[in-house]
């Protein structure tokens, strides 16, 4: 307790209040200290939700913990959303760069698709489908997919005896001719 602040508080009390405390102490043989300290604390303590005690109940502590947890989770969600946007933007930029590279020589890409299909392995079929998806996106970027649809249809017709490849082309949405 700050002795100087308490002394200033007592000095600032009206004389009638000081006299009343002393008379009561003399008549009741009681110390005025506890009552005087209670008045001092009532004036100097900033009241909280439970008054001037500064103590919180278990419910108040739980509420505070809940609010902090909720705020932290909200901050984490915002951070996660920002990270997701950054990743999506980076993926879109990478795809655009890949399509720009592909646009430089589409005929070579179509030959590579034929080469991959000619290997007759699942991983080569998967790589061919990825390349076909890029070729479709490249043509869509330039205004249409008529040429892609025609060439993919020819490709499908030429390799119709490969059911695993046909399933992958069906998954891409390349219609049978």
pTM higher than 0.85, yes or no?
Answer: no
In this predicted structure, the answer to whether residue 52 has a pLDDT above a threshold of 70 is: no
Q: Rounded mean pLDDT of the chain?
A: 87
> In degrees rounded to 5, what are phi and psi of residue 55?
-95, 150
User: Six-digit token pair at 24?
Assistant: 């009561």
Contacts of 175 (CB under 8 A, 6+ apart): 149, 153
Q: Provide mean pLDDT across the span 75-99.
A: 95
């Amino acid at each position: 307790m700050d002795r100087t602040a308490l002394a200033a508080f007592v000095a600032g009390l009206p004389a009638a209040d000081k006299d009343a405390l002393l008379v009561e102490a003399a008549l009741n043989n009681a110390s005025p200290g506890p009552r005087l300290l209670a008045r001092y604390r009532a004036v100097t303590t900033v009241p909280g939700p439970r008054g001037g005690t500064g103590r919180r109940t278990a419910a108040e502590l739980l509420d505070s913990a809940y609010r902090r947890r909720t705020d932290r989770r909200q901050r984490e969600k915002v951070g996660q959303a920002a990270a997701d946007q950054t990743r999506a933007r980076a993926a879109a930029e990478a795809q655009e760069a890949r399509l720009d590279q592909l646009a430089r020589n589409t005929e070579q890409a179509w030959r590579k698709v034929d080469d991959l299909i000619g290997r007759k392995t699942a991983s080569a079929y998967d790589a061919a489908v990825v390349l076909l998806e890029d070729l479709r996106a490249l043509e869509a970027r330039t205004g249409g997919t008529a040429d892609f649809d025609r060439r993919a249809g020819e490709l499908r017709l030429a390799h119709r005896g490969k059911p695993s490849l046909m399933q992958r082309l069906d998954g891409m949405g390349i219609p049978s001719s």
